[in-house]
Structure 1
Amino acid sequence: MDVFKSMVNEQANEQRKWIDARFSLQDPLAGEFVYRSGHIKGAVHWDLEKDLSDMQTSGGRHPLPDHDALTELYQRSGIELDDEIIIYDNGGEPFAARAWWVLQYGGFTNVHISLEGYEGLVETGEAFETEIPVFERSSVRPQWNESILALKEDVRQLVDEKSEEVLLDARAGERYRGEHEPLDPIAGHIPSAQNFDWAQLVKEGMFEIAGEGICQLERMVKKDQSVTVYCGSGVTAAPLYAMLKEKGYSHVRLYAGSYSDWISEGDLPVETSTNEQDGAL
């Protein structure tokens, strides 16, 4: 699957749709601010916490919105299932990948993550503007792909049955091992999970389609294996999911609630020992 796309030397296409997914976990208002300060011409802004998460419900720190909320997001953004859609953030970040996954979940068929962030896109010659576009509402009806979503019950079954499916933790190694946990009240990882820090996929502010990080990932997980990825809240696991699809892995799911959902009721097991197959570099 052609997930990541460099826009260098791409011809202009007035039919192409743009999504600006810039966001800052340290400053939740920053994404909308930079969008209003300048964005690719015609881009709609999708905010991680206002659009791509339902912060008023349970299910982890960035719960996935329900079908009705996502349908409303798609329709007010004026997009159709077969539109060519390019998503960008600042480059090498997880936010465009989260938006990409949300579109995969809705059944959109021609969506790509720009390898270049906003500044890089401007440097390639993409037109930009400060005016906020007005979008003609679409009547799109999503074709939900539930096979790419893992719920807590699915992961619990995977753990309880000692499934051969690979469970991959996308957080930094020290969080996976339980040595340092700045966000969640219980440190550690889901039992049986291996660790692959998603940041290994990024070099100089861009995702690498080839490189040592990819080699490490391909050594850890075989192409014919089923994989479920998670992180702390479902956000940084999205680029790991996207890269697995880019490299041809067919059976990949995202545990959207992730570790923060797993520990939310305090009744599920957690490990802090290092898995012998830990993939963190």
Structure 2
Amino acid sequence: MTAITSASALAHELTGDEPPVLLDVRWQLGGPNGRPDYEAGHLPGAAYVDLDSELAGPPGGSGRHPLPEPEVFGAVMRRAGVSGTRPVVVYDGGTGWAAARAWWLLRWAGHGDVRVLDGGLAAWDGPLERGEVTPEQGDFVPRPGALRVLDADGAAALARRGVLLDARAAERYRGEVEPVDPVAGHIPGAVSAPTSQNVTEAGEKGAPLLRDSGELRSRFRELGVTDATETGVYCGSGVSAAHQILALAVAGIDAALYPGSWSEWSADPARPVATGAEPG
């Protein structure tokens, strides 16, 4: 099953007898909240879901965006109209990071048919709807465990025996800057693989679109990832890493997410930190 859909394919689906549930997950690191933009114009019928408060648990020792409790996540999804047997399409403003977080969570929680709108709202050229949507209550019940998850020790071990990809910008990986977390650098053994390199600016309305599966396979192969490689991904707080896992899925490669990511790792002074361009 494909992990993404195009704007044109989605427009066609929305005219059918069983259109997918639409979730608007517009979000920016550090704000502002995406709800005002949602209320100003969203895909018809889409429900808004807030990443910080509904697609993550409270920040703390487990990172800035720890996984939400399954029962809390399930209640949010049901309120947004998600059911276990109905397809779901998620979108954000265009980067794909927040949409991928929602996609990953739903897949991790056992939903079998979830896709990301490639290019997000920026790729959509159909009509928009204003105001709030209150969809019919869904029946989705999370069954976590469908996708693999790493904790800090598991991420460190995977970096030694497989490939652990760091999805942050290269300068953060090298330890030259750190705008959010308390320590700069990367997990020893991790390989720099910025999520931004998985997309191209070409496409509908100039929206950033995922590169095709062949290009992505070639990119990950150069990073040491093959079908037979045990692969994990982390970022700052488990958001852009979800987009990396989306790209890996399009390339036909399974990967585990370290949800706590650098925000959890760097909060513990006992954990080692590497700097520079090499894994260390």
Decide: shared fold, TM above 0.5: yes
- Displacement of 1:104 in angstroms is 0.7
Residue 192 of structure 1: which of 176, 189, 194 is its match?
189
Instruction: Write the letter of the residue equivalent to 2:21.
Output: K
Conserved? CA contact 2:38–2:131, under 8 Å: no
Q: Does 1:23 align with 2:20?
A: no
CA RMSD of aligned residues (A): 2.0
Secondary structure of 2:61's aligned partner: coil
Aligned residue number for residue 204 of structure 2: none
Q: How does 1:139-178 map to 2 (within 5 A)?
A: 139-145=139-145, 147-159=147-159, 162-163=160-161, 165-178=162-175
How far apart are the structure 1 equivalents of 2:173 and 2:44? 40
> Structure 1, unaligned stretches of length 5 or more?
none
> Structure 2, unaligned stretches of length 5 or more?
202-206
- What is the aligned length? 269
Cα offsets for 1:115-172 (capped at 9, x unmatched): 1321422x1x3x421132222223322221254211223224435xx32x21010011
Cα offsets for 1:53-79 (capped at 9, x unmatched): 123543111122111211111221221
Secondary structure of 2:53's aligned partner: coil
Conserved? CA contact 1:168–1:229, under 8 Å: yes
How far apart are the structure 1 equivalents of 2:245 and 2:174? 21
Q: How does 1:60-139 map to 2 (within 5 A)?
A: 60-121=63-124, 123=125, 125=126, 127-139=127-139
- Displacement of 1:91 in angstroms is 1.7
- Displacement of 1:274 in angstroms is 2.2
How far apart are the structure 1 equivalents of 2:157 and 2:120? 38
Higher helix share: 2
Aligned residue number for residue 218 of structure 1: 221
Percent sequence identity is 34
- Displacement of 1:185 in angstroms is 1.2
Conserved? CA contact 1:20–1:87, under 8 Å: yes
Conserved? CA contact 2:167–2:194, under 8 Å: yes
Instruction: Write the letter of the residue equivalent to 2:258.
Output: Y
Secondary structure of 1:148's aligned partner: coil
Instruction: Write the letter of the residue equivalent to 1:202.
Output: V
Instruction: Write the letter of the residue equivalent to 2:97.
Output: P
Aligned residue number for residue 266 of structure 1: 269
